[in-house]
Amino acid sequence: MSELIISCEAVREVEALCDEFHNDPGELIAILHAVQNKLGYLPEEVQRVIARKLGIPASKVYGVVTFYSFFSMTPKGRNPVSVCLGTACYVRGSDKVLEEFKRVLGIEVGETTPDGRFSLDCLRCVGACGLAPVATIGEKVYGRLNPSDIKKIVAEFED
């Protein structure tokens, strides 16, 4: 069984968000968005709370969470890395940039470093195609990336 890692207060927040959407099963995706915005991720217990509030099986909630890559069941790092794999970035070598991030951070896409400092994701287009290939770390955008830059950039975030 999963350990309880979210607080009673978080449970109440999730329940309140479900109430805002009138506990309507048709609003499941919107509710998942709202909850992830609030908590940063969607752990098992949270999905169970949502399932109970909406009166649907937890298997349905889990099915939706795993279907959309936007939803995450692991907490994001303090510095979430997103590498753009949109067409413009991809043709300019963002796949190699992504590989270098994986190597330097020692994690796969969708994972978080054990110290919680970084998490790694990919996305499609941040609207900065002129700077391709692009990656974002938190709110900061890095353009014209070369795999050899990655180590130095990551070092900026050592805390």
Partner 1 sequence: MENLINLTIDNRPVSVPKGTTVLDAAASVGIDIPALCHLNLKGTCVRNAPASCRICVVEVQGRRNLAPSCATQVMEGMVVKTNSARVIRARKTVAELILSDHPNDCLTCPKCGDCELQALVTRFNIREMPFQGEQSSRKKEHTVSITRNMDKCILCRRCESVCNNVQTVGVLGAVRRGFDTTIAPTFDRMFKDTDCTYCGQCVAVCPTGALTERDNTDRLLDDLCDPDKVVIAQPAPAVRVALGEEFGYASGTIVTGKLATSLRRLGFDYVFDTDFGADLTIMEEGSEILARLKAFLGGDKTVKLPIMTSCCPAWVNFYEHNYPDLLDYPSTAKSPAQMFGAIAKTYWAQKMGIPREKLVVVSIMPCLAKKFECEREEFKVDGNPDVDYSISTRELARLIKRSNIDFRCLEDTDFDKPLGESSGAAAIFGATGGVMEAALRTVYEVYTGKTLPRLEFTEVRGLDGIKEATIDLAGFPLKVCVAHTLGNARYLMDKLRAGELDYHVVEVMACPAGCIDGGGQPYHHGDVEIIKARAKAIYAEDAGKPIRKSHENPDIQKLYREFLGAPLSERSHHLLHTRYFDKSLK
Q: Which residues bind partner 1 (CB under 8 A)?
A: 1-2, 44, 47, 56-60, 62-63, 66-68
Q: How far is the CB of 134 from partner 1 (least distance, A)?
A: 25
In the complex with partner 1, the residue whose CB is nearer, 66 or 146, is: 66
Q: How far is the CB of 69 from partner 1 (least distance, A)?
A: 8
Residue by residue, DSSP assigns the chain as -----S-HHHHHHHHHHHHHTTT-GGGHHHHHHHHHHHHSS--HHHHHHHHHHHTS-HHHHHHHHHHSTT--SSPPPSEEEEEE-SHHHHHTTHHHHHHHHHHHHT--TT-B-TTSSEEEEEES--S-GGG-S-EEETTEEE-S--GGGHHHHHHHT--
Q: How far is the CB of 16 from partner 1 (least distance, A)?
A: 23
> CA-CA distance, 116 to 106, in Å (whole number)?
12
Q: How far is the CB of 136 from partner 1 (least distance, A)?
A: 24
In the complex with partner 1, the residue whose CB is nearer, 68 or 106, is: 68
Q: How far is the CB of 153 from partner 1 (least distance, A)?
A: 31
In the complex with partner 1, the residue whose CB is nearer, 45 or 99, is: 45
In the complex with partner 1, the residue whose CB is nearer, 16 or 67, is: 67
In the complex with partner 1, the residue whose CB is nearer, 108 or 159, is: 108
